[in-house]
Amino acid sequence: MQKYQLEFILSTYEDSPDGFKNSIIEFGEDIKIVEVPDVSETKTKNFKINIRTQDPTLIFDACAQFGRIKSVKVLEG
């Protein structure tokens, strides 16, 4: 089955990535989550997420429950 490498930013009010990490861990591998600075005046936090998965839709649906997804890159392979 085809694997995809996803890279995106999740803008969320969550203080820790644990909640959304736990919701996507079963759908992918090689998960990397790093907090990135937010230049806006909002109280959101931005987390850059990298993950390999067979079904990007499952990852995006799970993360959308925690905030807004932006700057999406999807690579095959």
* Structure token digits, residue 15: 């203080």
pLDDT at res. 77? 79
- The domain segmentation of the chain, as residue ranges, is 4-76
Tell which wins on pLDDT, 44 or 59.
59
How far is residue 17's CA from residue 75's CA, in Å, rounded to a whole number? 23
CATH class of 4-76: alpha beta
pLDDT in tens, 10-41: 999 988 999 999 999 999 999 999 999 877 76
Task: Tell which residue, 19, 73, 17, 10, has the closest CA to residue 38.
Answer: 10
pTM of the shown model: 0.90
